[in-house]
Amino acid sequence: MLKTVLLGPAYTAPESNHVTYLADALIEIDQDGKITAVLTPDEPGYQEHLREAKEAGLLHELIPGQVIVPGFVDLHIHAPQWPQAGHALDKPLADWLNDDTFPLEAKYEDLEYAQTIYHDLVHTLLANGTTTALFFGTIHTEANLVLARECMDQGLRSAIGRVAMDNPDQTPAYYRDESSQEAVAETERFIQALEFLGQGEPLAPLPVITPRFVPSCSDGTLAGLGRLAKKYDLPVQSHVSESNWEHQYAIDRFGLHDAEVLDKFGLLTAKTVLAHGTQLTDHDANLLRERGVAIAHCPISNAYFGNGVLPVNQLLKNGNQLGLGSDISGGYSPSLYDNIRHAVALSQVRTDGVANDDQGKPDSRISVQTAFYLATKGGAQALNLPVGAVEAGCQADLQILTDPHPWPKESPLDRFERLMYQATRAVVTAVMVNGDLVYQVRD
């Protein structure tokens, strides 16, 4: 039995270098929120399905100027850092963490504070078209459960990690796990608590094993988290080669790149998502590909802290899995539209270089179609979720956009590119998750 049927133009990216335009698409969504069919006027049965939807009172027809696109999948968000988005981005990464970020995250011991921030964050993400989010939380299990409740209450599909960090050389005494035993045990308690909280919920958040990054964790914590990932068969998230500092830290401590360190401790799996990767070598990229690890490309954050530009085009050609991340708050914007634009711009910087004696790296430019793919289907595949596309078999996590400038005689591809470069929160008119309306602009 159908829940609703949408009628209107739609865009979706079936692969990394191509966007498909569906004129007057008829999108049928069942009671479980799954897209059961996507029909266009030239297909057999279109008119019959359209008539049946009208007669059943299920048809929602878009008004002129509106289009449908998949909901965005944000692969890297530090949820507690939302209050400092856009703050202190002129500092080096290590100083930014110690001076600003760790003191902020320590505040989430206060659950009322957590409630206030997380309620606003989840609403803001939905309002910007994000329908799936992969979150880093804090070390506070109860605060992370507050985030989980907000996601379920507001209708955001989510995966949440309780951050593990216990290395006294790289974490402050007021904000860290007291030992590797505590880091691992509290992570396991969080996993069990989140699974209990989500029982019977259609949008139950998925627990994620979350070593903050190699510098923050002792060997015992990395090893223990690797065992938990195997025991519970859960996703893993962390950072990899985020900056010159992090990359060199792993070399100095282990004599290995941090991708190799994570692999040594069993943390590179087909369910792992690693953020940044601006310092990855070809050997590192091949290792991640072989393990089935996905990379969260965070273009805005990388411009501030990454000391380099991720070679997106080369990684895609190498067979690596990639998606897009906002990296709140190393990235100042919660909008993946902003990150789509920055991804394209930074790829051109990588192509051209930054000075006359730096001619860059040829064949590095990506199109806006590729960046859109990263924000939708690429992110969905990274999380092994049936979302991120306007396709039969996918969950109906969708955005309805209202084009502020529907120019006459504009080609569908030109319109798509203009929307991707100009879209703001104001353009996102409605958002659906599992076929249910979870955000709508009110007149």
- With a cut of 80, say whether residue 357 has pLDDT above it: no
290 and 413 assigned to the same domain? no
Sign of CA dihedral 303, 309, 313, 315: negative
**Boundary of a domain, candidates 365, 382, 399:** 382
Rounded average pLDDT over 332-346: 97
Of the pLDDT bands very low, low, confident and very high (cuts 50, 70, 90), residue 113 is: very high
User: Do 235 and 110 share a structural domain?
Assistant: yes
Q: State the residue range of the domain holding 433.
A: 2-70+388-440
Give the per-residue pLDDT at 354. 78
Higher model confidence: residue 363 or residue 72? 72
**Claim to verify: residue 42 and residue 144 sit in the same structural domain:** no
252 and 396 both lie in a single domain: no
pTM: predicted TM-score of the whole model, two decimal places? 0.97
Task: Out of 116-125, 206-215, 270-279, 346-355, pick the least confident.
Answer: 346-355
For residue 193, how many other CB atoms are within 10 A of its CB?
Answer: 17
Q: How far is the C-alpha of 116 from the C-alpha of 50, rounded, in Å?
A: 44
Residue 396 in contact with residue 68, Cβ under 8 Å? no
Q: How high is the pLDDT of residue 324?
A: 98
What average pLDDT score do residues 245-264 get?
A: 95
Of the residues 337, 358, 382, the one at which a domain ends: 382
Q: What residues contact residue 80 under an 8 Å CB cut-off, 6+ apart?
A: 104, 105, 107, 108, 114, 117, 136, 137, 138, 143
Q: What's residue 361's pLDDT? A: 87
Instruction: Name the token pair of 98.
Output: 């110690």
Output the pLDDT for position 305: 87
d(CA 61, CA 259): 48
User: Sorting pLDDT into bands at 50, 70 and 90, what band is 243?
Assistant: confident
Q: What percent of the chain has pLDDT over 70?
A: 100
Count of the separate structural domains present in the chain = 2
Residues 330 and 206 in one domain: yes
Mean predicted lDDT score pLDDT of the chain: 96
Does residue 114 sit in the same domain as residue 89? yes
The predicted structure's pLDDT at residue 443: 64
Element (H, E) at 236: strand 236-240
Show the CA angle centred on residue 24, arms to residues 22 and 26, nearest 5°.
Answer: 90
pLDDT over 80 (residue 356): no
Query: Which among 339, 362, 382 is the end of a domain?
Result: 382
> Would you state the pLDDT for residue 30?
98
Say whether pLDDT at 360 is over 90. Answer: no
Domain co-membership, 6 together with 137: no
Q: Are residues 215 and 320 in the same domain?
A: yes
In this predicted structure, the answer to whether residue 133 has a pLDDT above a threshold of 80 is yes
Residues 84 and 38 in one domain: no
CATH of residue 12's domain is: 2.30.40.10
pLDDT of residue 144 exceeding 70, the answer is yes
Model confidence over 154-198: pLDDT tens digits? 999 999 999 999 999 999 999 999 999 999 999 999 999 999 999
Same domain for 330 and 196: yes
* Higher per-residue confidence, 273 vs 91: 273
Shared domain check, 32 and 78 = no
The average pLDDT across 29-56 equals 96
Residue with tokens 């608590």: 193
> Can you give the CATH number for the domain in which 357 is found?
3.20.20.140
Is residue 61's pLDDT more than 90? Answer: yes
Examine the domain organization and report whether 209 and 129 are in the same domain: yes
